[in-house]
Amino acid sequence: MYSKMIAIPDLEAAKKFVNITNKFRDATMKITSGYYVIDPRSIMGVLSLELNKPFQFEACDNVPSELISEISQFEVSVG
């Protein structure tokens, strides 16, 4: 399982993030923000989040190292 806090600050970053997640169709992924659970492959879902706040990205089952590498550009530290 891979779980990180990530931030998507604007529309361009949202498009890039969704394009990355769509490359990995075999991986089970989700975004959680408060009570909401969003499919990270959905641009409408991602844009429905408050983009000024970080949220939790999780991937389990068949998490390719390429996914982790490409998603790492969105990681933020919270604390």
Cα–Cα distances in angstroms (integers) from residue 20 to residues 14, 25, 34, 35, 37, in the given order: 10, 10, 23, 24, 19
Question: How many domains is the chain built from?
Answer: 1
- Confidence tier at 8 by pLDDT (50, 70, 90): very high
Decide if pLDDT at 52 tops 90.
Answer: no
Confidence of residue 79 (pLDDT cuts 50, 70, 90): low
Residues spanned by the domain of 39: 2-74
pTM here is 0.90
- Return the CATH number at 67: 3.30.1340.10
Confidence band for 67, pLDDT divided at 50, 70 and 90: very high
Domain assignment present for 51: yes
Give the number of other CB atoms < 10 A from CB of residue 5: 14
Task: Give CA–CA dist 64/13, Å, rounded.
Answer: 21
The per-residue pLDDT for 47 is 94
Give the torsion through C-alpha atoms of 3, 51, 14, 78, to 10 deg. Answer: -30
In a domain, residue 79? The reply is no
